[in-house]
Amino acid sequence: MQKLGLTQTLSQKLSPQQIQFIKLLQVPTAELEARVEEELEANPALEEGRDDAEDPYAQQDDFEASEGSDEYMDNEISVEEYLHDDFSGYKMYGDGSGDEEEKDIPISSMTTLQEQLKDQLSFLPLNDHQKLLGEQLIGSIENDGYIRRDLEMIVNDLAFSRNIETNLEELESVLVQIQQFDPAGIAARDLQECLLLQLKRRQDPDEATEDAIRIMEECFNDFTKKHYEKIMRRLNIKEEDRLREAFETIVRLNPKPGGITEGLVKNQYLIPDFILTNDNGKLDLSLNSKNAPDLKVSRSYAEMMDAYDKSDKKDKNLRDTVMFVKQKLDAAKWFIDAIRQRQETLLNTMGCILVHQNEFFLTGDEAKLRPMILKDIADKIEMDISTVSRVANSKAIQTEFGIFPLKYFFSEGITTDTGEDVSSREVKHVLKGLIDEEDKKKPLSDDKLEKLLKDKGYKIARRTVAKYREQLNIPVARLRKQI
């Protein structure tokens, strides 16, 4: 049985301008210049340069839009009004890492890996058909240098998307040739093949290299689990030193030939959004100059408004023209105000972080970091938590100790046996020190690490030890064991 009823709900939707401001707040310094250039090209009423004179458009605020015209943005911008959106999944008490996408900011200065591989492909004695197969294989290589898509699927891709008929044997023969390209190990289908490609390429291989190849071919599973005794028995290796040399040969190989090979990937530079200097104990915070572009409203466009005010307003064509001009002027004023609000929000947020983590910024000692969550900063600067999150997840600061992303300074708190609150980052630092100093023949288990940390005054559970160890990318004790 169907029923009709009325339901009253309260919801809030962000306008396009509000969404634009949120995106502008998140833009890092490396991309802000491009964003400003984009706005300059799109809006002729916006110009570069500083306008020290009185804003000629300020006198036009009393302009009355014609009946039926669009409503324009308010001159005053409130950050909080724009940022009270639903921030679902937000980890208020975590390490400051929300669920928003985090991106590295690459500034490319070289050709890509794909382009260099295609250059190498052009030197192979292949016919046109084989070159098309090679291009498809190169296009299937992922960022870390592997081809994980099954070759049979690539055969189907060629048939359906490019109308190229081939078979598994022909495709694999081209793949074998691509696997000889630089960097060594490229186009492997798994880690085992990647490491073998690098080992077999070595000229004049010594005994350690030959042992390493045998380990990869015959004992790869035992190698990943560090079952040294099984490997020695299976390969009939009597001396531990010989096995150690083979393992050292393997660990010096590159497991991600497409992602970290020097000279074959894009260089990356982290451009700081803030600059912090220490003048005899006095910390001075400033924005990167790229965050403060000089922008002004076009005087010629503002003069058009003045001319309209003195003209015959009954001319419909003139009114249509001036409505376009006003729209562009309003957009220009909004963008200038948005850039200013962006600067103020960044400085307020970073200034509060600076006060909270003052001892760290003076000494650079990680142990001086205090527990701090996003809500702590949001409450002090009287802004929404999502505002602080957007700033923390995309900005960095340059100090005399190096460049740090802002999210580095956020961490949960741990209570010591003396009742003092310390940062989880400090506990991780101590944990890493314990693991670095352990006997690698008998590495410490998580239970043992928990007891050692408690002896030092840090009251944390074993599962927390495991969580911190994983966040530090440190494997379990069994995988840390060495000969």
Residue 480, burial from CB neighbour count under 10 angstroms (0-12, 13-18, 19+): middle
Q: Is 173 helix (H, G, I), strand (E, B) or coil?
A: helix
| Strand-pair category, 274-279 with 282-287 | antiparallel
Amino acid 138: pLDDT:
93
Which residue in 247, 246, 265 sits closest to 256, CA to CA? Answer: 265
CA distances from 64 to 74, 322, 324 (A): 14, 11, 14
Q: What is the mean pLDDT of residues 66-92?
A: 35
Query: Given the structure tokens 């010594």, which residue do they identify?
Result: 206
- Is 339:290 a contact under the CB 8 Å cutoff? no
Question: Residue 68: enclosing H or E segment and its boundaries?
Answer: none
CA dist 439 and 14 (Å) reads: 57
Helix (H) or strand (E) holding 48: strand 46-48
Q: Quick one: average pLDDT of 120-140?
A: 92
Q: How far apart are CA 165 and CA 36, in angstroms?
A: 48
Say if residue 199's pLDDT is above 90: yes
Q: Which CATH number is 413-480's, of 1.10.3720.10, 1.10.10.60, 1.10.8.60, 2.60.120.10?
A: 1.10.10.60
Q: Where in the chain is the domain with CATH 1.10.10.60?
A: 413-480
| Position 175 confidence tier, pLDDT thresholds 50, 70, 90 | very high
Q: What's the pLDDT at 474?
A: 87
Q: Which of 7-11, 213-217, 321-325, 364-368 has the lowest mean pLDDT?
A: 7-11
Report the range of poorest mean pLDDT among 143-147, 195-199, 307-311.
307-311
Q: Mind listing the pLDDT tens digit for each residue in 285-342?
A: 988 877 777 888 888 877 777 676 666 655 667 777 778 888 888 888 888 888 888 8
Hey, what are 479's tokens?
């995988």
Query: Residue 402: what pLDDT?
Result: 86
Q: 379-425: per-residue pLDDT in tens?
A: 999 888 888 888 888 788 999 888 888 888 887 767 666 656 667 77
pLDDT at 476 over 90: no
Six-digit token string for 350: 């970073």
Nearest by Cα to 197 from 154, 151, 147, 244:
147
Residue 249 has pLDDT above 70, yes or no: yes
Return mean pLDDT, the chain: 78
Partners of residue 415 on adjacent β-strands: 421
Q: Which two tokens stand for residue 231?
A: 């490997």
Whether omega before 28 lies within 30 degrees of 0, making that bond cis, reads no
- As a whole number of angstroms, the distance between CA 338 and CA 21 comes to 7
Quote the pLDDT of residue 263. 40
Q: What is the pLDDT of residue 292?
A: 72
Query: How does DSSP classify residue 313?
Result: T
